[in-house]
Amino acid sequence: MNYIYLAAILFVFSCAGKTKKDYLIIKSLEKASWNWQKKGCSGNTFSFTFSDSLQTFTIEYETAIKQSGSDIVSRTFVYDIVNIKRKEIFASLRTESRTNRFGQPVLWYIKLLDEKTFTWVRSDTKSVYGPIIRCDQ
């Protein structure tokens, strides 16, 4: 690994309030493909790509899916990162049409259970979706 590149990324994290642990969490998500446990790894897996600034991430599916709560069908979904703490990434889906009781778009967070498993949590209802499992190549 290019140590200058890693040092630069860690410097950006320190300036943006992100920690080395945050960086490692993100890299663990980015290095794998994922799928719902009930579907297994042979189904329509997806992957994460985080922006260099860690302001956004994109989830890309092998084949297009219908976004829950809307008529949007796509292979890619872009999220704005609101916060990263411990083993959770709070984010807002850009095409989210559902709102909380204040009329604001629903926030989602990824809750890492371990290196190979996470769940999605809807912030307004605290509904938990998953688990989602790592599908190593």
User: Among candidates 53, 120, 109, 51, which has minimal Cα distance to 83?
Assistant: 109
Task: Dump pLDDT digits (tens) for 75-125.
Answer: 888 999 999 887 889 999 998 888 889 998 889 999 999 889 999 999 888
**pTM of the entire predicted model:** 0.76
Question: Tokens 């140590």 — which residue?
Answer: 3
Task: Find all residues with CB under 8 Å of 108, minimum gap 6, and list them.
Answer: 79, 90, 91, 92, 93, 120, 121, 122, 123
pLDDT of residue 10: 39
Q: How far apart are CA 41 and CA 61, in angstroms?
A: 12
pLDDT of residue 18: 60
pLDDT of residue 102: 92
- At 47, the pLDDT band (50, 70, 90 cuts) reads very high
If one compares 11 and 38, the residue with the highest pLDDT of the two is: 38
DSSP secondary structure of 6-71? HHHHHHHHHHHT--HHHHHHHHHHHTSEEEETTT-TTS--EEEEE-TTSSEEEEEEEEEEEPTTSS
What are the extents of the domains in the chain? 3-135
pLDDT of residue 84: 87
Q: How far apart are CA 1 and CA 7, in angstroms?
A: 11
Over the chain, what is the mean pLDDT? 80
pLDDT of residue 48: 92
